[in-house]
Amino acid sequence: MVDLNELEIQNGSHVDEELSEVFSDMLFRTKINQRDGYLYFLFEHKSYPDRMVALQLLTYMVRIWNQKVNKENHTHIPVIVPMVICHGEKKWKISPMFSDLILNFDSLPEEVKQMIPNYRYQLYDLSQFSDEDIKGKAELMIALSVARDIFKKSGEEFLETIFKAARALAELEEKETGLQYFETCMRYILTSGPRLSREQLNTVIKQLEVTYKKGSEVTMTLAEVLREEGFEEGIEKGIEKGKSEMAIGFAINRLTKKFGIMSSEYREKINTLDLNSLEMLNYQIDDFTSLDDVRKYLAL
């Protein structure tokens, strides 16, 4: 039904600024069933699943439809196929049906169900892909492999992912393009991936000197730049602090939306949690039914 030869990327993002740290999106215009339509991709950059992604997607789809109606004077809204691509540590076990966000939806009378919008999104959980599952051109294979491994592997295990990417990009005919792509991958790895110790980073630089010299130079330069920006010791402290601040803000924001304004006692306690506890808190928020559940988790 989808004409892949007509794909045309659309400018702009429909993701809220407050969520841009954990979500990014891409919108493509094409023909779906021989009519104008859109493929909407939402990339989830969190290390845990989130049930509310179905609500967020619906919000973004409505924005796209509003734009077509209000700004472009369309008399019909186009088909949108929503797709979630995630790469967290845990397997995505959440139902992709929007109706699952409504308590006891299946037991509602049909007359009521007909008044509630419902849809399902397409889910691609990269964490479950094997090397054999990942196919395509070098750039695509590298992007999927890095995204799959970034939250799953330790620094030592991740070295092979880097070397694999370097070998593939070194063989590209367009050398300059390959180098730019490698630089993008390494910047993402060093700022968002597993912590690489100074020894591991030196191992990468030394091995690339033999197999991909320009890649070695790029890695060395990036490491120096990031150290100057405060990412010393394998970028450890900066990454840890950045991830913790993001997780704190996200937890407080979600709890506020669910239970109302949080007291200073709750906020102060959340600010003292380590990164693992923060990620677990964010993972369990959907299961909390009252502030008492929050209080118990925080041991207040």
List, for residues 15-36, the tens digit of each pLDDT value. 777 777 777 888 999 999 998 8
Residue 167 pLDDT grade (very low, low, confident, very high; cuts 50, 70, 90): confident
Candidate from 12-16, 92-96, 181-185 with smallest mean pLDDT:
12-16
| Composition of the chain by helix, strand, coil, percent to 5 | 55, 15, 30
Distance CA 83, CA 121 (A): 6
Put residue 104 in one of left, alpha, beta given phi > 0 → left and psi -120 to 50 → alpha.
left
Retrieve residue 282's tokens: 């964010």
pTM above 0.75, yes or no: no
Contact of 64 with 40, CB cutoff 8 Å: yes
Residue 234 pLDDT grade (very low, low, confident, very high; cuts 50, 70, 90): very low
Contact of 226 with 188, CB cutoff 8 Å: no
Retrieve residue 167's tokens: 């070998």
Residue 102 pLDDT grade (very low, low, confident, very high; cuts 50, 70, 90): very high
Cβ atoms < 10 Å from Cβ of 40 = 20
Contact of 169 with 182, CB cutoff 8 Å: yes
The widest CA-to-CA distance across the chain, in whole angstroms, is: 69
